[in-house]
Structure 1
């Protein structure tokens, strides 16, 4: 390619060029053509740079730097230029495209071009003012300049030392100086291409680097993440790639076991849960539900929460347990004393997400147990998912989840009584205590859905925890959970649930267990006076007492087992898509 004309235009004085529409358009046309050629002939980029560096001791990168400085001045608050704004926008866009294409993926080009990164950053700052960030005339320039900045500072390989530029520049952007933090301004753009370029830049400089991700847990970096999380709902509806890129950034935190720190950092004063925390829980639940995802435990995670211990050196998701306690306590207090609390729906949503995340962990552990791969016993390896499940089953107040789950279900029943359309409105409905409450009309779907979903997820989590675990069944029975769960099978128009098949076998299992108390190596001799055991006669009274103890123990175990089966089967009937029983 003949680069003589472009070289001639680049050698012109930058101030002379920016003050002439004709010169601006001429250089823009040459730069645009060369940028297109470089994109189509990637293997010739070294030759293009060499051709543009002849006849000068400074080289092409020095010429680029001079033009960036001149353009940044012209777009500044006190900048002046004879050339029109449109001409200068075209020139800046064309030069950015050319340098972007020449630098991409070539470490030696990046090492030289990064010298004028401050001028590029200053230009970005000047063209992303409050009015210009919303001006569609600047959208293309915003996107291309962001792509150029990304190519200037992003690691070009995974070799040691390749991320030095990214390390230094990210530290500068996060220093707190207003002029240096252009990322937060670019994230305000309404242009999808600018958003995509900004997300690519953020992902590139933080990928596979725990230290750089940790830097983003405070100050300007946290504002970046919070703004990204705040826009993800809109990006999800757009289907243009922004949502996936944002997920990639959040998943980087999860992959590095930083989700507990990030959740704590996103908290808002006097709020039980912030919108950003809710979005993070959605993404974490999606990540935990993905069977192909691998989340490695962290070795050391500092604590950023003031009132809640959320970080754990062995299991990065242990913070979900205190979050559940916090949200459930808030919800129960609010339902009892402040039923019109405007924050209650968001708390319900947070509880649903926490339940789903914990259920995903529980199902994973049960699946590993079924395949004889994992160990969910109390002697499980420290830091394993099984160890977290055992903590959830702990009967102590403030640690385990069985009691707060049952209390939450009971509070939801009191807060939104079941609606039986077959009941006589004048006679009312029987509640759990046998008293009569007036028959109420069904709540509107938008109000009933969060309550129904929360109750469903609470029972689901309880079913997963109690499956094949007699100790959990004991806790459920101790806190009155059996009657409560059976009551959920009643007709409820606001929260339709099927009658579980396990309701009928409860007494049958107890009866069978009682009969099994006199089985085994004991047999009656027909005389009623004693028991023949191993060929020797023993006093009947003592053996009968021991048999009675064994029978009562078996009956108690059967009650717990039937409770576990009932809850698990109840969950299976409510959640046909996520069965608990094999």
Structure 2
């Protein structure tokens, strides 16, 4: 008891001595003492408990220190002694509060001071240099804040509700997400993941509130930059924690709310929405269970129709009214170029992949348990705002894409047999169109599997010749031919009308020695 008493007394005395001098000359002695105590606290949980509860109480002195730092008249993020002092006091606070509920409760009184310091150290001027003096203080204060609230539900809720209801310009979470320091970003994301873990209320606030949307937009933009980080680096770890944060939102069924909160008025798709779809696609591809909410199915159907309708309109404007022939050498540029079309198609690929994955998971579950809800029905029966059904939308889009996009074979555009000219690539970024035909064909194959009504709808809207025309090699769409053959197999399975339709279609061309499809003389193309 005497040793502990002397430690508390020593802490109070060095704090009082520093505060009475309030000068930079006294910083080294204070930081040395705090660092020594912090090291002992990190090793001994019992010491943390006793130091936080015994007399003389350390809390008034610690509160005074944080208040001094938050209100220091000449506080400057580029002031090294000031930053070193913040690091030492934050480290002491971090170690003192780790896993000790009473210490967390007492230390939370300093949260406004910590927030003010974080606001100072997350300014543009503080982040202007990659070797900024702001990084260590910011990182350590974030870690201290994390230890103050972690595992303490009451404090986590108070912190989260406070931060997500502040005026946007005061939200330090948004500012810190812009930190160039990956260690700071990693510490921040650990705090954020801990805050929303196992809490529907806090997840909802993040997904639905205005500030939450701004946080998610900033994080999604940052994750795009972190994606190519070297494995095991702090940047890669930060990306993983960012993914885990969104996975918590996916688990809670907040995808529709979050997707809508990321929208930009007047735009068919916003960049953060595309990034969110990439994360959702990755999440679904790694999932082995079908625990998806029906709301997610309706959301994905809505996204598919919105993107498909936009793409159809853009392609029609590009190829011109009444033009059903591929763009060729006589018309090298589209009549009207929509710069958003590649990004729209990129998002359409992601939405389609998500739908296919959910459909396959649902089919597996339904085969095992016939009483389970078959989520494929949601996708089959959905309609767009203008009344276009899923079958009709995907077939019309495939038909237009076959006109608009050349097939790439061995690195060259396929020659159009009708004109004997090279098909010109659209004057737009081709990367946005990668895998589009393949995934749309796969979409058809999955939804028509053992469903005669959907098979019939594909036939009625003229989809069988469209799918047959996809049985080709296209380097922009790997395995397109294989997916088209499988889709045809599913379309014909136990469907006499569809088989008769295929039998009525006679070969209209032949493959030459160069692997190019040539039209037979006098043949009629369907």
Whether these two folds match at TM > 0.5 is yes
Among candidates 461, 469, 487, match of residue 479 of structure 1? 461
Specify which of 207, 211, 234 is matched with residue 197 of structure 2: 207
Which residue number in structure 1 is paired with residue 65 of structure 2? 67
Aligned to 2:15: 10
The unaligned stretches of length 5 or more in structure 2 are 319-335, 505-526
Structural mapping, 1:545-556, within 5 Å: 555-556=496-497
- Alpha-carbon distance between aligned partners in 1 of 2:290 and 2:170, rounded to the nearest angstrom: 35
Q: Which residue in the other structure is 2:419 paired with? A: 436
Once the two structures are superposed, residues 243-292 of structure 1 have per-residue CA deviations (whole angstroms, 9 ceiling, x without a partner) of 11111111121111110011011001111111111111111112222234
C-alpha distance in 1 between matches for 2:164 and 2:470: 52
* Aligned 8 A contact 2:174 2:214 in 1: yes
| 8 Å CA contact 2:143, 2:187 repeated in 1 | yes
Q: Which runs of 5+ in 1 are unaligned?
A: 157-162, 298-313, 514-553, 564-582
User: In the aligned structure 1, how far is the partner of 2:407 from the partner of 2:242?
Assistant: 41
Write out aligned runs for 1:489-504 (5 A): 489-490=471-472, 492=474, 495=477
Give 1:317 shift: 3.0
What does residue 29 of structure 1 align with? 32
Asked if the contact 1:71/1:92 (under 8 Å) is kept, the reply is: yes
Question: What do residues 23-60 of structure 1 show as CA deviations (whole Å, max 9, x unaligned)?
Answer: 11111011111112211223321233356x42xxxx21
Distance 1:496 1:182, change over 3 A: closer
1:520: which partner in 2?
none
1:81/1:279 CA distance change after superposition, 3 Å: closer
Whether 2:2 is the aligned partner of 1:19: answer: no
Task: Flag the 1:147–1:471 CA change in 2: closer, same or farther, 3 A.
Answer: same
Question: RMSD over aligned Cα, in angstroms?
Answer: 3.5
- Give, in angstroms, the shift of residue 235 of structure 1: 1.6
CA distance in 1, matches of 2:445, 2:314: 26
Change (3 A) 1:486 1:87: same
Tell me which of the two structures has the higher relative contact order, counting C-alpha pairs closer than 8 angstroms and 6 or more residues apart. 2
Q: Residue 154 in 1 paired to residue 150 in 2?
A: yes
Q: For residues 344 and 413 of structure 2, what CA distance do their matches in structure 1 show?
A: 34
2:342 to 337, 341, 345: 345
Aligned residues: 473
- TM-score under structure 2 length normalisation: 0.80
Bigger Rg over Cα? 1
Choose the corresponding residue for 1:328, options 302, 305, 308: 308
Change (3 A) 1:350 1:294: same
Conservation of the 8 A alpha-carbon contact between 1:489 and 1:497: no
Aligned mates of 1:364, 1:46 — CA distance in 2: 50
SS at match of 2:227: helix
Aligned to 1:461: 443
Per-residue deviation, 1:124: 1.8
TM-score (normalised: structure 1)? 0.73
- Verify the 8 A CA contact 1:395 1:475 in the aligned structure 2: no
CA distance in 2, matches of 1:486, 1:441: 23
- Whole-angstrom CA distance in 2 between matches of 1:501 and 1:147: 50
In structure 2, the residue matched to 1:525 is: none
1:167 is matched with 157
| Structure 1 Cα separation of the partners of residues 462 and 181 of structure 2 | 56
- Look up the SS of the partner of 1:133 in the other structure: coil
Q: In the alignment, is residue 243 of structure 1 matched against residue 239 of structure 2? A: yes
